Structure 1
Amino acid sequence: MDWTHYRFRSLWPLPAPPAAVYAVLERTEEYPRWWRQVREVERRDDATGVIRVRSLLPYDLTFTAREVRRDPGAGVLQVAMYGDIEGWAGWTVTPTGSGCLARYDQVVDVRKPLLRRLAVPGRPVFRANHWLMMRAGRRGLLAYLGRPSEAV
Structure 2
Amino acid sequence: MDWTHYRFRSLWALSASPDTVYEVLERAEEYPRWWPQVREVVRLDDSSGNIRIRSVLPYDLRFTARETRRDRVAGVLEIAMTGDVEGWARWTITAHGDGALARYEQVVDVHKPLLRRLAVPGRPVFRANHRLMMRAGRRGLARYLEAV
Query: Which category describes the TM-score, using the shorter chain as reference length?
Result: over 0.9
TM norm structure 2: 0.98
Separation of aligned partners in 1, 2:145 and 2:77: 19
SS in structure 2 opposite 1:3? coil
SS in structure 1 opposite 2:45? coil
**Partner AA of 1:141 in structure 2:** L
Ranges of 4+ aligned residues in structure 1 off by more than 6 Å? none
SS in structure 2 opposite 1:101? strand
Task: Note if 1:81 corresponds to 2:81.
Answer: yes
- CA deviation string 1:69-112 (max 9, x = no partner): 00000000000000000000010000011011000000000000
Separation of aligned partners in 2, 1:142 and 1:7: 24
Q: How does 1:52-131 map to 2 (within 5 A)?
A: 52-131=52-131
Q: How does 1:126-137 map to 2 (within 5 A)?
A: 126-137=126-137
Task: Note if 1:3 corresponds to 2:8.
Answer: no
SS in structure 2 opposite 1:133? helix
- C-alpha displacement of 1:146: 1.2
Separation of aligned partners in 1, 2:16 and 2:57: 31
Separation of aligned partners in 2, 1:99 and 1:145: 11
Q: How does 1:5-84 map to 2 (within 5 A)?
A: 5-84=5-84
| Structure 2: tracts of 5 or more residues without a match | none
Separation of aligned partners in 1, 2:36 and 2:113: 25
Please give the root-mean-square deviation of Cα atoms over the aligned residues, in Å. Answer: 0.6
- CA deviation string 1:23-71 (max 9, x = no partner): 0000000000000100000000000000000000000000000000000
Corresponding residue pairs, total: 147
Identical positions, percent = 76
Separation of aligned partners in 2, 1:133 and 1:144: 16
TM norm structure 1: 0.96
